[in-house]
Structure formats: C-alpha cells, structure tokens
Amino acid sequence: MNFARDLANEPRNILHPTEMAKRAEKMAKEVGLKCEILDEKQMAKLEMGSLLSVSIGSEQPAKLIVLKYEPKKSTGKKGELLAIVGKGITFDTGGISIKPAEGMDAMKYDMSGGATVIGTMRAIGLLKPSVPVLGIVAAVENMPDGKASRPSDVVTASNGKTIEILNTDAEGRLVLADAVAYAEKEGATRIVDMATLTGAVIIALGDLNTAVLGNDQALVDEIIACGKEAGENFWQLPVSKEYSKMIKSDIADLKNIGGGRKAGTIIGAVFIQEFIKDAKWAHLDIAGTAWSDEAKPHQAKGPTAVAVRTLLKLVEKSQ
C-alpha cells in the first residue's frame, strides 16, 4: 500500500508514463513478476485507437504496463485467470475540454487506479499465491495541444467499435476500453478494473464507499465481501441495458458521455462494459476514496491505496 501511495504522491514532472513504467519494471524484477511494457507503436499495431486518442496531445508517450504472476503450481481452476486493470492517467488537464485551474493540482492522483494495480501486484509477488494474476495499467498523460483529440472526433478501439468523443475530459473510460479488451485477449476470464473515473461518484457516495458495478453478480458480491473482511467499503450500482442506450451515438457505435448530469458513474461503467466480450467483469470507481483530505487514525492524509487489501483477499480466496 505504501508503494502505491508513493507512486500517487510523486509530482507529475517526475512520474510521467515512462517513469511509471520504469518503476513497475524495477519492482517486477525485485519480486519475481514478468513485466512487458508496450509502447505507442506496439499499441498502434494492436489498433488501440481509443487509448491513443488520449495520449496524442501530450509530449509524454503512453505506456501499457503488463505485469504477470505465475505460480510454480497452480491450484486454480484450469483456464481461469484474474486480471486487475488500472487507469493510470499520470496527469489530467481534461485535454481540449480543459478543467478549471482551481483544484487541477489534484489531478496528479488520476493514476491512483494504476498505482493500486502496481501495489497489489507487488504484494502478490511477495506473498506468492497459488493462482495466476495479470495486472495491466494504461499509463497516459491527458494534455491539450495542436494534436490533441477534439470533441466530435471519432476513433476506433481495438475491438473494432467506433467512439464519438464528445468530451475529452471523459478520458479514463477511453484508456480502459482498450486495456480491458487487451486483458481478455490475454486470457483473462475475470476482470476487475479500477479508476478515479467520475466526480459523480463523490456526489453519490462521498469518500466512505467505493462504487462497484459489474456484469456478474457473484463477482460483485465477492468483492463486497472481501472488502468487508479487509476494512474497505463498497456499494453496488446498476449497469442495466437502459443505461447502455444513453451512450449510443448517431454517427458511431458509442459516445464517451451520455445523459447529461444523470447517472454519471453508471454511464462511465456501461461504456467500459462495451469492451468486455465474455469475461466476468467488475468496475471500481475510486474517485471518492482514492485520497483523503485529512489524516485518520488508520490512514495518512493523501493517497489511500484503496482496494489493495480487497484485491489481495480476492486473490487469496481464488486459490
């Protein structure tokens, strides 16, 4: 958890996507994980147009961090693979749909989902459970410049779906789209993604509960139960077909926002769900719980490394 917090605390002129990838690679060597770093050329070959539409406005190139833990002898069900996927937006200006200046400094924490994945994979490497785990982080910087994506642009994700970008500040779901699709292509049968995705979740749940949504009730229930054991609170929100209708585009398969101010957290989740084919999937919106404005008896001020304990419980129970 402290490793994840240290990543989140670093200034973003130091911890850009390339540095985040280097630290993940160094950590992997220390604890015996396999690590592969995909660069933008490799992602372009994989047709990750959704993810790359976010990084295009930054001088810092995107990196897809892939961490693999494989036990010497697996006790898990044959063919089963859990993947944990994190949003690693190292800094989020909002892009062309730029955020207000006040409070933008907090956007260095927009990679907290990615930090949770890296911290959890470090713990897995040290604890050596008897089941394989895949960790993926989409490390990207969202900046505005002459090459940046514009509202009204249409891009194609790696699964072939086209996306109308109506707001470049709804970028987390764009990078996660290609990241979860990649996890499933790598053999993941269960996928848990985590992201500081929406301000709406802070309005709904404050900083006391993390929103959990998913396409498999058993997986969602397991995450909630593991959270209770680990001392972390999760609250389920729905992802029904009626919400999915709100992201249908007139000129593409999907649009990256929908519904105006309605159901913002759910809309972000149902967008990501469009990039899951067969896997059991759960989404954790940690925007309200990834950092704390004040110190608490059990927790320092700043990044919380939320969900690390819960994910480790989930892995433990998969053995």
What is the set of active-site residues?
99, 173
Q: How far is CA 42 from CA 49, 50, 62, 161, in A?
A: 12, 14, 11, 19
Q: Which two tokens stand for residue 153?
A: 């642009």
Helices (H) and strands (E) in the chain, counts: 11, 13
Instruction: Please say whether the beta carbons of 284 and 195 come within 8 A.
Output: yes
| CA nearest neighbour of 277 among 222, 217, 218, 215 | 215
Burial state string for 220-253 with b = 16 or more CB within 10 A and e = fewer than 16: bebbbebbeebebbbebbebeeebbebbebeebb
CA distance 305 to 8: 9
Residue 285: half-sphere exposure toward Cβ, Cα within 13 Å:
31
CA dihedral 114, 25, 34, 214 (to 10 degrees): 0
Helical segments of the chain, H only: 2-9, 17-31, 40-45, 49-55, 112-127, 172-185, 200-205, 217-230, 241-244, 264-273, 308-317
